[in-house]
Amino acid sequence: MRVLYDDVAALRALLGERPAPAPPCGATLSDPEQRLWEALAPGHPVGATIAPDAGRFSTLAIVAEAQASQLDLLNGWVREGAAPGRAVAAVAVTGRGFHGQRQRSWLAPPGTLYLSVAAPLAVDLQRAAPALTMLPCVAVCDAVRALSQGAVAAGTKWVNDVLIEGGKVAGALTLLHSVGVESRAVLFGVGLNVAVAPPVPPTRFVPAVSALRQWLPAVELAPVLGAVLQSLSARLAEIEAGELEAIGESYRDHSVVIGRAVELWDEGADADTRGKPFATGVVDGIDADLRLRLRGRAEPIGSGRLVLVG
């Protein structure tokens, strides 16, 4: 895997101790690499090195301080016609403009894995879109299991959060590019708290945040990055093989909401929203299309912000 970087300390933090790399200045890049770097870090110096393969990823760009959400920058890069021939990944040590669902802002302290990927993918979106939405959360759960050798269980909170023992450790986003009903590329964004939990005040939607080091005290960013990239690769292979239900089964197996009492609020609700949830009840299941089934309610629920009760 080819690695582009603008800072030696960032490179070491995300790839571990390696032979001393050259300072980032004047590396010779291929045309696709040059366009990718200009999209992610315009004006930044660039160095290049080689790292062990990480699944299907051909290129990893490491930026010490991102000027904007790398997922948004990759999305613009793909929208402008630069669909990758192979999957590419971008990681920032810190940055500005990071966000989750519906542009809700993220704090971005160092010590969290901020990962964005773009991969070519030709599948029927009518069938595959729900599985692709579930995929990054499932991949994070896979990675936590691998890193802890099964000792730590991460769970999925509908729709796109990952929790460990009630504390949010990660959030994920999926973006799709298509021609008609067939996808052209898929993008994933993952924010995974590794060394530190950001100082987020508790709300009904996120009552607690945590970091992997609470359960894995010696864990570092480098092995976490490697594990997540490998998990994303393996799960994308399942999508390409048409094994969509495998993603759904894993998402449900990891779910922390099935069997729990919940409240569902409008998508636009935030910590200051007054009033009442539009639905309450016990979650009986999650359908293949990612809709939530509440006990005693005939129609499944396709969107909303979920609160675990009790």
Residue 111 CA to residue 89 CA, distance in Å, equals 18
CB 277 within 8 A of CB 307: yes
Digit-coded pLDDT (tens) for 197-248: 988 899 999 999 999 999 999 999 999 999 999 999 999 999 999 999 999 9
* Residue-level pLDDT at 259: 98
CB 186 within 8 A of CB 172: no
Residue 229 CA to residue 123 CA, distance in Å, equals 21
Digit-coded pLDDT (tens) for 137-190: 999 999 999 999 999 999 999 999 999 999 999 999 999 998 777 788 999 999
* Residue-level pLDDT at 236: 97
Mean pLDDT of 271-295: 94
CB 277 within 8 A of CB 129: no
Cα-based distances in Å from 157 to 55, 201, 224, 262, 283: 27, 19, 21, 11, 12
115 beta partners: 91, 190
pLDDT at 194 over 80: yes
Token pair for residue 95?
């940055």
Strands 2-5 and 57-66 come out as parallel
- The structure's pTM equals 0.94
Instruction: Count the residues in the chain.
Output: 310
Digit-coded pLDDT (tens) for 25-62: 778 899 999 999 999 999 999 999 999 888 899 999 99
Of 28-32, 78-82, 286-290, the range with the highest mean pLDDT is 286-290
Contacts of 296 (CB under 8 A, 6+ apart): 281
pLDDT band at 273 (very low <50, low <70, confident <90, very high): confident
Q: Is residue 126 within a helix (H) or strand (E), and if so which, with residue range?
A: helix 125-147
Residue 124 CA to residue 179 CA, distance in Å, equals 10
* Residue-level pLDDT at 81: 77
* Residue-level pLDDT at 102: 65
Token pair for residue 108?
């971005």
Ordered by where they begin, the domains of the chain are 2-253 (3.30.930.10), 261-308 (no CATH)
Digit-coded pLDDT (tens) for 140-151: 999 999 999 999
pLDDT band at 17 (very low <50, low <70, confident <90, very high): confident
